[in-house]
Amino acid sequence: VSAHCAEQPVARIALLGTGRVGSAVLERLATLPGTPAAGRLLLVHAGNSRVAVDCRAGLPPLPPAALLRDAVRAASLEAVEHALGPHGTRIVIDATASGDVAEHHAQWLGRGIHVVTACKLGQGTGLQRWGAIQSACAATGAMYGDSATVGAGLPLLRTLRALRAGGERIHQIAGVLSGSLAWLLQGDDAQVPFSAQVRAARAHGYTEPDPRADLSGEDVRRKLLILARTAGHPLKERDVRVESLVPPGLSSLPLDALDAALGVLDAPLRTRLERARADGRVLRHVARLRADGAATVALEALLPGDPLATGSGTDNRVAIWSDRYRAQPLVIQGPGAGAGLTAAALLDDALAVQASYDARLAAA
């Protein structure tokens, strides 16, 4: 990433995952020289589920195929700590979707290793795992960078934390949190079959290769859990009622049979779009935490003046009601999906860890 710089302390980083997001992290690392972030991060470990490479002096930020070409070592989570070494600022960047890696977050934090993550399985699943992460951070002072987990780096979690730090109580949150579902519903056109929209979204790379992962609403459940817990409402997974858009017959099909069966989505969606339109409303996929603590992920028919009714493309849009934003919510909107934005958010979080280390050194 950079040569070790004598004047500035360098954070050593281990990158886990070399898929879409991990590759974009490597690409962005290669662009840092010449910017204020140059020389702050030293890549000492990179791996995926199969192989890994280490170099204490720093690995070059090459594309994964080149970086891992000569990898001889099988990947192992235990090796990550060894690769990071015993001292200094050490950061694990989690660009996987692995429950095993997420289960390790609290252990690393407990040993003073910072974690920055795009993976929602650390804070967006069981309350126990979320609690273990909070406790480990409190015990060691290690930082958990999570801005890539919801809204791909949009200032959502940090705004909630800043409001709470100022004494605010968060009353309600409502958000369009899935870029793919936002894109699928933006036209509000009952004449275009929903299955055709799903195929187009997949072709654009807006959905997962298996679009059922988006349509099930499970990814949005995790995002809402992370937002709610950050806002001071420690919900359990089962506290969020999720309406899946995948009918039972479609959920059990093998992936190669899915395309031919997508048409079953069309009639129910057309009915709902037409009903919403007849009522002068628009259909949106909304994650909502209500003032009474009820939490839902569902299609909602919204009036045009609703804070979530507008927005275009794959934009995320989140409305926050709190003590000071009581009548009119605070609304945060912007591009909230994609590997490039997610990678930028991960590296921003890693650089923030290093900046806080600098601040502590300066104060000592």
Residue selected from 12, 14, 17, 235 as contacting ligand NAP according to rule CB under 6 A: 17
Among residues 70, 91, 67, 95, the alpha carbon closest in space to that of 81 is found at 91
Residue selected from 42, 119, 177, 240 as contacting ligand NAP according to rule CB under 6 A: 119
Q: Which is nearer to ligand NAP, 77 or 276 (CB)?
A: 77
Tokens 């070592």 appear where?
Answer: 73
Question: Strand 114-117 and strand 170-176: pairing?
Answer: unpaired
CA quadruple 82, 84, 90, 92: dihedral positive or negative? Answer: negative
The contact mask relative to ligand NAP for 181-200 (x = CB under 6 A, - = no) is --------------------
In three-state secondary structure terms, 13 is strand
- Does the annotation count 120 as an active-site position? no
Residue selected from 11, 15, 21, 282 as contacting ligand NAP according to rule CB under 6 A: 21
Q: How far is the CB of 102 from ligand NAP (least distance, A)?
A: 9
Among residues 82, 9, 95, 35, the alpha carbon closest in space to that of 356 is found at 9
- The beta-strand segments (E) located in the chain are 11-16, 41-47, 51-54, 73-74, 90-94, 114-117, 144-145, 170-176, 240-242, 282-289, 295-302, 315-322, 330-335
Q: Which is nearer to ligand NAP, 46 or 228 (CB)?
A: 46
Q: Which residues contact 66 (CB under 8 A, 6 or more apart)?
A: none
118 touching ligand NAP, by CB under 6 A: yes
18 touching ligand NAP, by CB under 6 A: yes
95 touching ligand NAP, by CB under 6 A: yes
178 touching ligand NAP, by CB under 6 A: no
Residue selected from 38, 49, 168, 172 as contacting ligand NAP according to rule CB under 6 A: 49
Catalytic one among 104, 212, 223, 288? 223
- Angle between the 194-204 and 266-278 helix axes, to the nearest 10 degrees? 110
Closest residue (Cβ) to ligand NAP? 19
In three-state secondary structure terms, 325 is coil
| Contact stretch for ligand NAP (CB under 6 A) within 18-26, 31-39, 233-241, 277-285 | 18-26
| Contact stretch for ligand NAP (CB under 6 A) within 16-24, 238-246, 249-257, 295-303 | 16-24
48 touching ligand NAP, by CB under 6 A: yes
Q: Which residues contact 99 (CB under 8 A, 6 or more apart)?
A: 121, 125
Q: Which is nearer to ligand NAP, 3 or 74 (CB)?
A: 74
Q: How far is the CB of 294 from ligand NAP (least distance, A)?
A: 26
Q: Which is nearer to ligand NAP, 84 or 273 (CB)?
A: 84
Find out whether 93 and 16 touch, Cβ atoms under 8 Å. yes
107 touching ligand NAP, by CB under 6 A: no
Find out whether 9 and 361 touch, Cβ atoms under 8 Å. yes
Q: Which is nearer to ligand NAP, 111 or 277 (CB)?
A: 111
| Contact stretch for ligand NAP (CB under 6 A) within 20-28, 127-135, 180-188, 230-238 | 20-28
Distance CA 337, CA 219 (A): 12
144 burial (CB, 10 Å; 0-12 / 13-18 / 19+) is buried
Q: Which is nearer to ligand NAP, 210 or 358 (CB)?
A: 210
Q: Which is nearer to ligand NAP, 9 or 19 (CB)?
A: 19
Q: Which residues contact 256 (CB under 8 A, 6 or more apart)?
A: none
Return residues touching ligand NAP (CB under 6 A): 16-22, 47-50, 75, 95-98, 100-101, 118-120, 148, 152, 337-339, 342
**Residues with catalytic annotation?**
223
